[in-house]
Amino acid sequence: GDSVTQMEGPVTLSEEAFLTINCTYTATGYPSLFWYVQYPGEGLQLLLKATKADDKGSNKGFEATYRKETTSFHLEKGSVQVSDSAVYFCALGMDSNYQLIWGAGTKLIIKP
Amino acid sequence: DTGVSQNPRHKITKRGQNVTFRCDPISEHNRLYWYRQTLGQGPEFLTYFQNEAQLEKSRLLSDRFSAERPKGSFSTLEIQRTEQGDSAMYLCASNVGGGKTDTQYFGPGTRLTVL
């Protein structure tokens, strides 16, 4: 079945470091791909999305490119801030069932 | 938009009791979703509605769980005879259209603790 695999956390970085959080997926069709973020004590918020191969989603300095050949949607940011500390979830959406299928989440800790 | 709201935010109950959660979606969003999230995991789909019709239910939704959306606006999720394994965060999301490209907007969740 369809699934999403994320790198395990926590990921601990110093402020201004480069961030990569890996996400790979398995899907029988052509999914849309999403990154959601959950800040402490808050609900899930969409960070960015890409709806077809080679699309790049971007928001708040974060980017991810939909790579069909490697079935990946890795999240990157050039210079992280303490305020980026949160849990990041990769998810895919398929036309066949309308639900989102989620990775387990990656906790990011940024130290000043 | 005021966002998706959920009540209560926290619920502590004893095993065997019934609990009911409410979700108010963003106005005019015709699709509403329920997910369950346990610690350290991503959300797991439970069910979804298009207007008042419940169109899909996960196998996770045992017969102790029931969800309604009577007028196509707010929704309730009831758990009967709660078990300790029901302890989780229950998330509600909504959107318009509901295709694979459409963003789902999430509420803050209801955290259930079953003692």
Q: Is A51 on the interface with B (CB under 8 A)?
A: yes
Distance between CA atoms of B90 and B93, rounded to whole angstroms? 10
Residue B1: predicted pLDDT: 55
Residue B56: predicted pLDDT: 85
CB contact under 8 A, B48 and A4: no
Phi, psi (degrees; rounded to nearest 5) at A70: -110, 5
Q: How confident is the model at residue B99 (pLDDT cuts 50, 70, 90)?
A: confident
Name the residue with higher pLDDT: B98 or A68: A68
pLDDT digits (tens, 9 = 90+) for B15-26: 999 999 999 999
Q: Would you state the structure tokens that stand for residue A45, as one six-digit string?
A: 């918020």
Q: Is B91 on the interface with A (CB under 8 A)?
A: yes
Q: Is A99 on the interface with B (CB under 8 A)?
A: yes
CB contact under 8 A, B101 and A49: yes
Residue A97: predicted pLDDT: 65
SS3 A9: coil
pLDDT at A100 over 60: yes
> Quick one: which H or E segment has residue A85?
none
Distance between CA atoms of B3 and B78, rounded to whole angstroms? 22
Place of tokens 């895919």: A92
**Which chain B residues have a beta carbon less than 8 Å from that of A34?**
103
Q: Is A53 on the interface with B (CB under 8 A)?
A: no
Mean pLDDT of A47-59: 95
CB contact under 8 A, B98 and A89: no
Mean pLDDT of A11-27: 96
Q: Which residue of A has its CA nearest to B93?
A: A44
Separation in Å, CA B46 to CA A45, A57, A103, B28, B58: 19, 28, 16, 22, 5
Nearest to B98 among A36, A44, A98 (CB): A98
Residue A92: predicted pLDDT: 94
Residue A22: predicted pLDDT: 97
